[in-house]
Amino acid sequence: MKRLAILASGSGSNAEKIMEYFQSSKTVEVALVASNKADAFVLERARKFNVPTFTFSRKEMDAGLLQAKLDEEKIDWVILAGFLLKIPVELTRAFPDRMVNIHPALLPKYGGKGMYGMHVHEAVKAAGEKETGITIHLVNENYDEGRIVFQASTTVEPEDSPEDIAQKIHKLEHEHFPRVIEELVEA
């Protein structure tokens, strides 16, 4: 059984879709949901699925506390689902090619520090893009630069607001992220 840890900083809709997807799996288990925010709604979503939770500060993560918890829980794969802190290099090295992130744009466009959530959708709209999408990639020591494993796109209509774009992106994320994780983990 492969054990996943999901790291998230906010609401956790992607985390919920992942927990739902794997709840009856015989080969993959969501073993931990961890957040850098004690009030993140993702922790409530995890409780609904009886998944253990863990919270930590940036300072504790940088000091190795998160890595120690992942080791203690015998985590095989780390999934970033709306996790807003930069992962320490030591942690990326502890999970080589076993740490996955989802980004709400077609990388390499609209990636990097500060490019998350509505910031991305506002930038896509401001640039007049005709297409945007999601990128699922492996995590390395640089923001949004790991090897891309999957992309899916959607059109951006001239009348679409950043909120409309966000809805289209969430649909793609929920449709593809759990399945792509399964393909990676079981490869």
CA distance linking residue 186 with residue 176, whole number of Å:
16
CA distance linking residue 52 with residue 24, whole number of Å:
17
Structure-block tokens of residue 169: 């992106």
Residue 108: asked if its preceding bond is cis (omega within 30°), the reply is yes
Q: Which of 103, 121, 137, 176 is catalytic?
A: 103
- Residue 121 designated active-site: no
Contact predicate 52/59, CB 8 Å? no
Pairing of strands 131-138, 148-155: antiparallel
Residues taking part in catalysis: 103
